[in-house]
Structure 1
Amino acid sequence: MNRPIRLVTAALTVSAALLLAACGSGGGEASDKIEGADSNGGGKASASAPTSTKPSGAKRPKIKLPGSFRADFVGWHHSDPKKQAILDDGKERLRAEYAAIIEGNPQAKPVAFYTSQQALTSSRAYIQGYVGNNHTLVGEARVFNPQVSLSDAGGGVLFYCVDESKGYTEDRGTKKRTGTPDDVNPVLQYRTTLKETKQGVWSTVSLETERGGCDK
């Protein structure tokens, strides 16, 4: 795609050492489409792997993606309930952004619900880029290999990969679609940090992306 499915890069507020430590943590699977699970970064999770329990302090918005665009989250389960909560809210943040692009609404409430601080400013600017160009998203994004960890201060660090090879930017008027050029790696690595709010929501406060940072 000429405009890849990713956020404008924002500087992370944690050390490089902490970010890299996240790559050794476990992840598993959850999604709009659910396929097998990896609860601790290696092997398949058992059928009895725990599901997340949403905190009762906040009413989470319902996010619906149209049939023209699908986000498949592969490997988004974890045996640790707190890390699972980070995975859940990190997933919903990305889904909220996709939905806002498709709706053409940079001020969409779900984006602000799951994103704050520098990450929110970057996200809204990114969505506005699509709106200003009269573009939307179609196709599919595969979101995989989540790596989650907790900092000593209690914050969250979440890495994950997004394969854009089946996702396209579509002009809302002409319906012309543009995909990732053949000479550009279609896989991005997202590196995010999150803080838990008083209502129990893990809000993404900073993020950066690296194209080619993941294996397809």
Structure 2
Amino acid sequence: MNRPARLVAVALTVSTALLLTACGSGGGDDSSSDKIKGADAGGEKASASASASAPAGQDAAGRPKITLSREFQANFEGWTNSDPKLQAILNDGREELRSEYAAVIEADLNSSAVAFYNSDATLATAHKWIKQFVDDDESLIGSVRAFDPQVHINDTGSGVLFYCVDERKASTKNRRTAKITTTADKPENVIQYRNRLDKNPQGVWKTTSSTVVPGACG
């Protein structure tokens, strides 16, 4: 997937200022409210992998059904939490990532699912990320592993979701030539996402800021 060279550079253009503004409106040193603490993880680190299908109970909010190609798998490990509010953030955060993978695979620059899970602040960057693949006539094959999700709700009511994605078993495949480009087995291809999400009136946790840090997951 060559993400560190080509894709992370795009993702990093999302302003980190949006993430930092979720730290609270009061005075003093409240910057920790958007940082994941070990204790905040609670019971979400279940050993079983979460289902790759869309979470149940989505119809009321109109959540789109997202389907990935048989050639590409996104495996989510430990994406469960005993707190329903935190589980809702995990569910919508997971579907946001899956929507972008699906858009790349379908070469869909105007994916309604990507727009559904992203705010105006992050949609333009998501579009750039997808456009790189579409312009190069590439799809995704192989698999990624999304793991170690850490989630909490900060002082302003925003959701903060950190998680890791191991892309070392994923590749790109040219639609025209069928040429496959594999992802290097390097630490920087295990990426940490640091997202902020805000709940809209329909109850959907939309991603409102996103920062990616290659190699941060160790």
Corresponding residue for 1:155? 158
The offset of 1:170, in angstroms, is: 1.1
Report the AA paired with residue 161 of structure 1.
C
- Residues 150, 127 of structure 1: alpha-carbon distance in 2 compared, 3 angstrom cutoff: same
Q: Which moved more, 1:91-100 or 1:13-22?
A: 13-22
Corresponding residue to 1:138 among 106, 119, 141: 141
* TM-score of the pair, normalised by structure 2: 0.83
CA shift digits 1:97-124 (9 cap, x unpaired):
0000000012110001111122111001
Using the alignment, how far apart are the partners of 1:66 and 1:148 within structure 2? 28
Using the alignment, how far apart are the partners of 2:203 and 2:171 within structure 1? 34
Identify the structure with the greater helix proportion.
Answer: 2
Using the alignment, how far apart are the partners of 1:170 and 1:212 within structure 2? 24
Q: Secondary structure at the match of 2:206?
A: strand
Corresponding residue to 1:14 among 4, 16, 19: 19
Corresponding residue to 2:85 among 73, 82, 85: 82
Report the AA paired with residue 138 of structure 1.
I
Using the alignment, how far apart are the partners of 2:59 and 2:177 within structure 1? 45
Q: Residue 144 of structure 1 contacts residue 160 of structure 1 at CA under 8 Å; is this kept in 2?
A: yes
Q: Residue 169 of structure 1 contacts residue 178 of structure 1 at CA under 8 Å; is this kept in 2?
A: yes
Corresponding residue for 1:120? 123
For structure 1, list consecutive stretches of 5 or more residues without a partner in the other structure. 34-51
Using the alignment, how far apart are the partners of 2:154 and 2:180 within structure 1? 41
Corresponding residue for 2:23? none
Using the alignment, how far apart are the partners of 1:136 and 1:214 within structure 2? 25
1:203-214 map, 5 Å: 203-214=206-217
Report the AA paired with residue 32 of structure 1.
A
Corresponding residue to 1:175 among 169, 178, 200: 178
The alignment status of 1:59 with 2:59, answered yes or no, reads: no
Q: Secondary structure at the match of 2:157?
A: coil
The alignment status of 1:2 with 2:17, answered yes or no, reads: no
For structure 2, list consecutive stretches of 5 or more residues without a partner in the other structure. 21-30
- Residues 136, 153 of structure 1: alpha-carbon distance in 2 compared, 3 angstrom cutoff: same
Q: Secondary structure at the match of 2:94?
A: helix
Corresponding residue for 1:32? 52
Corresponding residue for 1:36? none
How high is the sequence identity, in percent, across the aligned residues? Answer: 42
- CA RMSD for the aligned pairs? 2.1
Corresponding residue for 2:191? 188
Q: Secondary structure at the match of 1:21?
A: coil
Matched positions, count? 197
The offset of 1:56, in angstroms, is: 6.3
